[in-house]
């Protein structure tokens, strides 16, 4: 349940914000792999490969895919993009493409380390294998929180693991966004999908607040919204998956939403059209998130398997568990806010 209208175009944008801090783009030699030094190089490699793709007439989507394949790789980069262009790559039945994730990772690694300086705790609460349902608070207009949860699991977990995300349905109507979301592990936010993924023993992340959470005003920051109708609890009950509450702090300050241009939202079919201090004032530059300081806490798993799958019909139990999970996340959000101190330094 995340909205990611502009996530596909995120790599070029990252380049847009990087130049003030670093030297001009390096020439077209092999980009470095290191995350801290690499975002600019990775982004240039991305753009260069994408442009090459366009020039050889393979279409924009192909070119972008090719660009992202090239970004962050050095030897065998050409061979890989050629191989991918010939259709030899692996996608699972949901469209998840591990190679693609590896290619776009440098950007997210940079955001994790350099931009938001994320501190992660409790990552050992996420099982290394088998099904589990992560439930997190949602904030910050664009689903950067999802990407940082994914990055935390890949970077901090003793046995790095890819998470699957339930993504706002609207994203799947959008060109590029829909394709990108699937490649990085997003699926349409349908309980059928969640249930199937869990039965396949995936690690699934869900943001029950959905649009209400991502699109709330800055004044309401860190106040968790209603948790839908508890659909995620039903899915967990049916599949016997443990629920892992995840508290994310820092996402609220990335785009402080001051207002909502509702007519524009209606015009574009978007769930909201945010007005932030930088957007739409600074145009595309306004999409650069503010460098707030982040904390992510993976809380103790809540095992609800003792209730059995038939408990889904017990409304009061479902509400009780929903409320319990929500309370846990809210408390841990407050606790992490205190630990974090200043929002930016």
- Nearest distance in Å: CB 216, another protein: 22
- Nearest distance in Å: CB 174, another protein: 8
The span from the CA of 271 to the CA of 268, in Å, is: 9
- Residue 93 or 310: which CB sits closer to another protein? 93
- Nearest distance in Å: CB 172, another protein: 4
* Count of beta carbons in the 10 Å neighbourhood of residue 326: 20
CA 98, 29, 67, 58 torsion-angle sign: negative
CB 266 within 8 A of CB 156: no
DSSP state of 176: T
- Nearest distance in Å: CB 180, another protein: 9
User: Which of 63, 44, 45 shows the shortest CA–CA distance to 53?
Assistant: 63
> Residue 2 is encoded by which pair of tokens?
């995340």
The span from the CA of 237 to the CA of 193, in Å, is: 15
Contact residues for 217 (Cβ-Cβ < 8 A; gap 6+):
257, 258, 259, 260
- Residue 172 or 319: which CB sits closer to another protein? 172
- Residue 94 or 319: which CB sits closer to another protein? 94
- Nearest distance in Å: CB 65, another protein: 7
CA 252, 258, 259, 260 torsion-angle sign: negative
Contact residues for 323 (Cβ-Cβ < 8 A; gap 6+):
227
- Residue 138 or 182: which CB sits closer to another protein? 182
- Residue 14 or 187: which CB sits closer to another protein? 187
- Nearest distance in Å: CB 58, another protein: 8
- Nearest distance in Å: CB 192, another protein: 4
The DSSP result for 93-108, as a single string, is TT---HHHHHHHHHHH
> Residue 207 is encoded by which pair of tokens?
């943001």
- Residue 35 or 198: which CB sits closer to another protein? 198
Q: What spatial distance separates the first Cα and last Cα of the chain, rounded to whole Å?
A: 29
- Residue 91 or 217: which CB sits closer to another protein? 91
Residues that bind another protein (CB under 8 A): 57-62, 65, 82-91, 93-95, 169-170, 172-179, 182-183, 187-190, 192-193, 196
User: Which of 141, 279, 155 shows the shortest CA–CA distance to 214?
Assistant: 141
- Residue 126 or 181: which CB sits closer to another protein? 181
DSSP state of 60: H
- Nearest distance in Å: CB 184, another protein: 13
User: Which of 209, 198, 202 shows the shortest CA–CA distance to 237?
Assistant: 198
């Amino acid at each position: 349940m995340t909205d990611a209208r502009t996530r596909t175009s995120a790599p070029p944008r990252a380049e847009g914000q990087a130049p003030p801090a670093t030297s001009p783009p390096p020439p077209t030699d092999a980009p470095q792999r290191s995350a801290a030094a690499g975002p600019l190089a990775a982004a240039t490699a991305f753009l260069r490969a994408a442009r090459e793709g366009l020039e050889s007439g393979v279409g924009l989507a192909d070119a972008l895919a090719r660009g992202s394949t090239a970004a962050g790789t050095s030897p065998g980069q050409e061979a890989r993009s050629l191989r991918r262009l010939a259709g030899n790559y692996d996608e699972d039945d949901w469209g998840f493409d591990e190679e693609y994730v590896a290619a776009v990772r440098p950007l997210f690694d940079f955001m994790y380390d350099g931009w938001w300086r994320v501190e992660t705790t409790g990552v050992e609460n996420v099982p290394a294998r088998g099904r589990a349902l992560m439930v997190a608070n949602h904030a910050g207009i664009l689903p950067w929180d999802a990407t940082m949860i994914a990055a935390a699991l890949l970077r901090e977990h003793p046995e790095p693991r890819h998470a699957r995300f339930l993504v706002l349905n609207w994203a799947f109507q959008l060109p590029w966004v829909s394709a990108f979301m699937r490649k990085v592990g997003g699926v349409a936010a349908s309980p059928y999908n969640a249930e199937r993924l869990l039965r396949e023993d995936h690690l699934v992340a869900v943001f029950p607040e959905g649009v209400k959470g991502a699109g709330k005003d800055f004044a309401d920051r860190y106040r968790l919204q209603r948790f839908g109708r508890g659909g995620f609890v039903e899915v967990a009950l049916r599949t016997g998956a443990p629920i892992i509450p995840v508290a994310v702090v820092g996402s609220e300050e990335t785009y402080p939403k001051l207002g909502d241009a509702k007519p524009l939202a209606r015009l574009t079919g978007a769930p909201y059209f945010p007005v932030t201090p930088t957007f739409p004032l600074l145009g595309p530059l306004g999409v650069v998130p503010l460098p707030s300081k982040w904390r992510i806490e993976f809380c103790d798993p809540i095992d609800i398997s003792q209730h059995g799958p038939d408990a889904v019909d017990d409304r009061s139990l479902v509400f009780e568990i929903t409320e319990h999970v929500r309370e846990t996340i809210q408390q841990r959000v407050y606790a992490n806010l205190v630990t974090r101190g200043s929002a930016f330094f």
